[in-house]
């Protein structure tokens, strides 16, 4: 998939690009059945929350080994529409995944992600340059009531704000301070929701402020995040590094697969 010069200019100016139908319904069905399978696995890479211990996040679906490995998600990660788009946005063909995660945001229990910039955590992982981008793909419809993600256009150009540690949910992270957010709301255009049916996607810069609310609806909101980094920007050594499933040490450049690799993968699996 060749991004247009307008799309690339939008990535640089606004920090994101939305793709209304990046994956088709056949591909989505294959990935959804993988979510059903992997979410049954008991592993530290499957983070649960709430009264019913529903899954909040599943990590490391893109590798070809490990408890949560999913060949279908690996095929998706390497597809020209995902890896190819990230290569063009970052201007580099040698990319690896710092991590991948599937946020399930279950009906009623799925909790919020406060406003944050991903690069806070990734810089602490030892990564020097904010030359990273995440492609997120909606796997079940994303709506305001089920906790769709919002982005604050252009906020990646601000650089990094001074964050605070948030431990209010099952997955702790560095988030933007309330006083800073109030300032940013005055400075940048209105937040934009990433809403749409399964297959809707967005790629966004690692310093772009983004957030999502609690899932108040009766439907789960499933969404995959592929976080790409340049191989040349791999993390430096840090004390007490986070586990491999959030700070990958597999820095081998990902190879582009064919555009129908998700569907071909499913054909091979069902023939075996």
Ligand X SMILES: O=C(O)CCC(=O)C(=O)O
* Contact track, ligand X, 159-198, x by CB under 6 A: ----------------------------------------
| Residue 171: C-alpha distances to residues 17, 50, 86, 146, 247 (Å) | 26, 12, 26, 18, 15
Q: Could you give the CA distance from residue 149 to residue 73 in angstroms, rounded to a whole number? A: 21
Per rule CB under 6 A, is residue 200 in the interface with ligand X?
A: no
Per rule CB under 6 A, is residue 125 in the interface with ligand X?
A: no
Minimum Å gap between C-beta 214 and ligand X is 10
Q: What are phi and psi of 104, to 5 degrees?
A: -90, -25
Length of the chain: 272
Minimum Å gap between C-beta 238 and ligand X is 20
Per rule CB under 6 A, is residue 113 in the interface with ligand X?
A: yes
Count of residues near ligand X by CB under 6 A: 9
Q: Could you give the CA distance from residue 244 to residue 121 in angstroms, rounded to a whole number? A: 14
Per rule CB under 6 A, is residue 226 in the interface with ligand X?
A: no
Per rule CB under 6 A, is residue 223 in the interface with ligand X?
A: yes
Per rule CB under 6 A, is residue 247 in the interface with ligand X?
A: no
With a CB cutoff of 8 Å and minimum separation 6, the contacts of 141 are: 196, 197, 198, 219, 221
Q: Which of 120, 205, 210, 230 binds ligand X (CB under 6 A)?
A: 210
* Contact track, ligand X, 29-68, x by CB under 6 A: ----------------------------------------
Q: What angle do CA 117, 123, 125 make, to 5 degrees?
A: 120
79 vs 212 by CB, closer to ligand X: 212
Q: Could you give the CA distance from residue 79 to residue 95 in angstroms, rounded to a whole number? A: 13
Dihedral of CA 18/24/25/31: which sign?
A: negative
43 vs 143 by CB, closer to ligand X: 143
Per rule CB under 6 A, is residue 103 in the interface with ligand X?
A: yes
| Residue 176: C-alpha distances to residues 44, 164, 208 (Å) | 27, 6, 11
| Residue 64: C-alpha distances to residues 108, 141, 264 (Å) | 33, 28, 16
Per rule CB under 6 A, is residue 225 in the interface with ligand X?
A: yes
Largest CA-CA distance found in the chain, in angstroms, rounded: 57
Q: Which of 88, 155, 212, 229 binds ligand X (CB under 6 A)?
A: 212
Torsion of CA 152, 141, 171, 41, to 10 degrees: -150
215 vs 261 by CB, closer to ligand X: 215
Minimum Å gap between C-beta 5 and ligand X is 28
DSSP count for the chain of H helices, then E strands: 7, 13
Minimum Å gap between C-beta 210 and ligand X is 5
Minimum Å gap between C-beta 270 and ligand X is 30
Per rule CB under 6 A, is residue 149 in the interface with ligand X?
A: yes
Joined tokens for residue 115: 């406003």
Minimum Å gap between C-beta 116 and ligand X is 6
Task: Point out which residues bind ligand X (CB under 6 A).
Answer: 103, 105, 113, 118, 149, 210, 212, 223, 225
């Amino acid at each position: 998939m060749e991004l247009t010069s307008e799309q690339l200019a939008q990535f640089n100016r606004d920090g994101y690009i939305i793709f209304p139908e990046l994956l088709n319904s056949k591909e989505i069905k294959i990935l959804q059945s993988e979510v059903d399978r992997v979410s049954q696995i008991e592993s530290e890479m499957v983070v649960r929350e709430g009264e019913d211990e529903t899954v909040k996040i599943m990590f490391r679906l893109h590798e070809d080994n490990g408890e949560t490995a999913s060949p279908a998600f690996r095929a998706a990660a390497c597809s020209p529409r995902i890896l190819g788009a990230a290569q063009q946005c970052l201007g580099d063909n040698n990319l690896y995944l710092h991590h991948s995660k599937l946020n399930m945001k279950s009906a009623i229990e799925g909790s919020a992600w406060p406003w944050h910039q991903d690069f806070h955590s990734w810089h602490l992982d030892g990564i020097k340059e904010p030359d990273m981008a995440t492609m997120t793909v909606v796997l079940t419809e994303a709506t305001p009531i089920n906790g769709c993600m919002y982005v604050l256009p252009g906020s990646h150009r601000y650089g990094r704000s001074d964050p605070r540690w948030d431990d209010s949910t099952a997955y702790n992270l560095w988030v933007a301070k309330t006083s800073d957010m109030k300032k940013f709301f005055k400075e940048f255009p209105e937040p934009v929701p990433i809403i749409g049916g399964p297959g809707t996607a967005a790629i966004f810069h690692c310093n772009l402020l983004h957030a999502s609310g609690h899932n108040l609806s009766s439907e789960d909101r499933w969404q995959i995040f592929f976080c790409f980094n340049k191989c040349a920007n791999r993390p430096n050594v840090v004390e007490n590094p986070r586990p491999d499933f959030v700070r990958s040490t597999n820095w081998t450049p990902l190879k582009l697969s064919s555009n129908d690799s998700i569907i071909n993968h499913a054909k091979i699996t069902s023939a075996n």
